[in-house]
Amino acid sequence: MSTGTIVLLVILAVLIIAVAALYFLGRKAQKKQAEQQEQIDAMKQTVSMLIIDKKRMKIKDSGLPQAVIAQTPKMLRGSKLPIVKAKVGPQIMTLVSDEKIFDMIPVKKEVKATVSGIYITDVKGLHGKPIAAPKKKKGRFRQALEKAQEKAGAKPIK
């Protein structure tokens, strides 16, 4: 065999091993996520709360309890989380929001939220009405494109 075919076989073997490892790690992570979701669903409660503020903050600057910060992996301590400050009953709490619903949470309004521990999983209006997600702002490129199309008399792209 020539050296070219040996190199190709070695590269192919490494790629096959890498794909197999990723497959098994992915299955393991998927099982772990399913277990966590099951725990969240078991602990969830509906609570009425007044949203004071919401921001994306680093976990160490968020004001979460020290026990929560200590339990997070060291690699995630520098990443930003969607943090919500809310008044639940007489006390003000710092909660972590689900990334999917963070943009839907209205500030300075009272909402009914589904909470599991310090994790907000769902938000509805005070009378059970779903909250509409705010419209995304158009970027400068999209605005310029629509302006140019208006001048040209063409239909705008949505």
pTM as predicted: 0.64
Q: Return the H-helix or E-strand segment holding 93.
A: strand 91-97
Alpha-carbon distance of 10 to 4, in angstroms, equals 10
Chain-centre distance of CA 53, in angstroms?
17
pLDDT digits (tens, 9 = 90+) for 62-118: 888 888 888 888 888 888 999 999 999 899 999 999 888 998 898 898 999 999 888
- The whole-angstrom separation of Cα 74 and Cα 5 is 43
